[in-house]
């Protein structure tokens, strides 16, 4: 098999990259070890920055998102039993965020690629990348028990944190930066209409909580917990009790309950590797960086990565320009580290740390009071939350 760009991974990064390359007239093949149903139903976060929404609309992917997505012009911060609204649109010149599940974006991308005749090979096994320092890198894999080989000009490693591409880079090339947080998020999907029109980020002495949503009928909720806890220790009754305690305030607002459709515990970490490229291999998305979900940056960073990579590849094929490819990692990392800073800041401001002294706990509250009381501080939060401008 032969193509211009071999893409490992059919998550949002790999699928969107293939779509953008197609618009530039560049051929690609996507290899994915899971089945299509698993990829399309894998539930992940769903807060899209303004730039992500604009890119999906501009490239013909936004029809269902515009119809079903929930546009939010603000978020709420809750602490000391009071709620404070951050008006995102007013503070950023009209920008907003859109709540639209990552799996819904994936469904739209798969449909678009297949409609355009794109090649997505699901359920492949034994994927390995070779000859990364040559001008003809290869991807070997097996499908239906038969060995296969894909020869290409470039390889895009969009295969996530546990993928094969990053470990294929020789030892000593990459520098890893990582922080593991001493807590996780217990998340549930509940079949009940959201109790708030906007997201609520709650700081509480018992730990962080988040009220989010997936649709007009489905609510997404989280509580801070021990990352090593057993989900069996969290029956539905206990989860709802904690959510009521952490989210409710001195107004008459009440959290509505409904049947729990799904629940699980997700550990939290910050992770970055530098550089994001080696020879003809380019990493994108979770293969190169992980952010705690507090800042809602994960998929948006992946979108920014592949937007830049598609433009760099277009410059190479159309004009023979290698400068954007050479600068890919450095350009991406400027945005990534800003997103890491924002996500770390939101996480440290809103979560309970067991090692925090009473002094540090009071500083947290003072930080929240400052952010919600200062236009300058609120603007900084809003600018980061709706998404910083793309870099080229």
- Whether the per-residue pLDDT at 44 is higher than 80: the answer is no
Partnered with residue 213 across adjacent β-strands are 219
Q: Are residues 295 and 157 in the same domain?
A: yes
Residue with tokens 């990064």: 13
Catalytic pick among 73, 204, 211, 297: 297
Q: Are residues 291 and 211 in the same domain?
A: no
CA–CA separation, 286 vs 19, rounded Å?
Answer: 19
CB 189 within 8 A of CB 217: no
Residue 45 binned pLDDT confidence (cut-offs 50, 70, 90): confident
**254: annotated active-site residue:** no
**167: annotated active-site residue:** no
Q: pLDDT, tens digit, for every residue of 48-85?
A: 999 999 999 999 999 999 999 999 999 999 999 999 99
Residue 70 is assigned to a structural domain of this protein: no
CA–CA separation, 53 vs 306, rounded Å?
Answer: 15
Catalytic pick among 19, 72, 73, 95: 72
**201: annotated active-site residue:** yes
Residue 76 is assigned to a structural domain of this protein: no
Domain that holds residue 303: 5-46+101-174+275-352
Residue 96: its H or E element: none
The beta-strand segments (E) located in 36-87 are: 47-48, 70-72, 74-79, 82-87
Q: Are residues 260 and 197 in the same domain?
A: yes
Q: pLDDT, tens digit, for every residue of 167-219?
A: 999 999 999 999 999 999 999 999 999 999 999 999 999 999 999 998 899 99
Q: What percent of the chain has pLDDT over 70?
A: 100
Q: pLDDT, tens digit, for every residue of 157-168?
A: 999 999 999 999
Q: Are residues 135 and 185 in the same domain?
A: no
Least confident of 40-49, 226-235, 381-390: 40-49
CB 51 within 8 A of CB 95: no
Q: What percent of the chain has pLDDT over 90?
A: 95
Q: Are residues 34 and 123 in the same domain?
A: yes
CATH code, domain carrying 231: 3.30.9.10
Q: Are residues 35 and 149 in the same domain?
A: yes
String of DSSP letters for 358-392: HHHHHHHHHHHHHHHH-HHHHHHHHHHHH-PPP--
Q: pLDDT, tens digit, for every residue of 281-314?
A: 999 999 999 999 999 999 999 999 999 999 999 9
- Whether the per-residue pLDDT at 356 is higher than 90: the answer is no
**222: annotated active-site residue:** no
CA–CA separation, 190 vs 198, rounded Å?
Answer: 16
- Whether the per-residue pLDDT at 346 is higher than 80: the answer is yes
Q: Are residues 140 and 36 in the same domain?
A: yes
For the residues 118-141, what does the mean pLDDT come to?
97
Number of other CB atoms surrounding residue 199 within 10 Å: 23
Which of the 8 DSSP states describes residue 227?
T
Q: What is the pLDDT of residue 127?
A: 98
Least confident of 28-32, 42-46, 60-64, 289-293: 42-46
Q: Are residues 125 and 184 in the same domain?
A: no
Q: Are residues 105 and 20 in the same domain?
A: yes
Residue 15 is assigned to a structural domain of this protein: yes
Q: What is the pLDDT of residue 64?
A: 96
CATH code, domain carrying 341: 3.50.50.60
Q: Are residues 204 and 151 in the same domain?
A: no
Q: Are residues 252 and 240 in the same domain?
A: yes
Mean pLDDT (the chain, rounded): 96
Q: Are residues 139 and 199 in the same domain?
A: no
**385: annotated active-site residue:** yes
Q: pLDDT, tens digit, for every residue of 205-216?
A: 999 999 999 889
Q: Among 225, 243, 268, which residue terminates a domain?
A: 268
Number of domains in the chain: 2
Residue 154: its H or E element: strand 154-157
CA–CA separation, 277 vs 282, rounded Å?
Answer: 4
CA–CA separation, 206 vs 225, rounded Å?
Answer: 9
User: Rounded to the nearest 10 degrees, what angle do helices 12-23 and 102-115 cross at?
Assistant: 40
Torsion angle in degrees (nearest 10) through CA of 285, 145, 107, 224: -50
Catalytic pick among 100, 222, 293, 351: 293
Catalytic pick among 201, 222, 278, 328: 201
- Whether the per-residue pLDDT at 93 is higher than 80: the answer is yes
CA–CA separation, 209 vs 133, rounded Å?
Answer: 47
């Amino acid at each position: 098999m032969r193509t211009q760009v071999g893409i490992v991974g059919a998550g949002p990064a790999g699928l969107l990259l293939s779509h953008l390359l197609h618009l530039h007239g560049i051929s690609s093949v996507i290899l994915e070890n899971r089945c299509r149903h698993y990829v399309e139903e894998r539930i992940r976060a769903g807060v899209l920055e303004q730039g992500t929404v604009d890119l999906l609309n501009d490239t013909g992917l936004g029809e269902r998102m515009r119809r079903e997505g929930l546009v939010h012009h603000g978020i709420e911060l809750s602490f000391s039993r009071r709620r404070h609204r951050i008006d995102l649109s007013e503070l950023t010149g009209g920008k907003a965020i859109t709540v639209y599940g990552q799996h819904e974006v994936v469904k739209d991308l798969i449909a678009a690629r297949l409609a355009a005749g794109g090649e997505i090979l699901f359920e492949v096994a034994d994927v390995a990348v070779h000859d990364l320092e040559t001008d003809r890198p290869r991807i070997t894999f097996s499908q239906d028990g038969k060995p296969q080989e894909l020869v290409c000009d470039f390889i895009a490693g969009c295969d996530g944190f546990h993928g094969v591409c990053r470990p294929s880079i020789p030892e000593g090339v990459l520098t890893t930066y990582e922080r593991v947080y001493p807590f996780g998020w217990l998340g549930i999907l509940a079949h009940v209409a959201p109790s708030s029109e906007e997201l609520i980020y709650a700081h509480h002495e018992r730990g962080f909580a988040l009220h989010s949503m997936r649709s007009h009928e489905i609510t997404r909720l989280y509580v801070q917990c021990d990352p090593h806890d057993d989900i069996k220790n969290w029956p539905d009754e206990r989860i709802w009790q904690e959510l009521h305690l952490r989210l409710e305030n001195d107004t008459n607002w009440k959290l509505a309950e409904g049947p729990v459709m799904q629940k699980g515990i997700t550990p939290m970490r910050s992770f970055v590797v530098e550089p994001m490229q080696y020879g003809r291999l380019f990493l994108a998305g979770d293969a190169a960086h992980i952010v705690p979900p507090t800042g809602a940056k994960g998929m948006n960073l992946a979108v920014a990565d592949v937007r830049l990579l598609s433009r760099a590849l277009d410059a190479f094929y159309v004009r023979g320009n290698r400068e954007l490819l050479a600068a890919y990692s450095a350009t991406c990392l400027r945005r990534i580290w800003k997103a890491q800073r924002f996500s770390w800041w939101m996480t440290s401001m809103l979560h309970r740390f067991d090692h925090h002294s009473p002094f540090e706990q009071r500083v947290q509250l003072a930080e929240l009071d400052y952010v919600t009381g200062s236009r300058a501080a609120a603007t900084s939060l809003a600018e980061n939350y709706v998404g910083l401008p793309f870099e080229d």
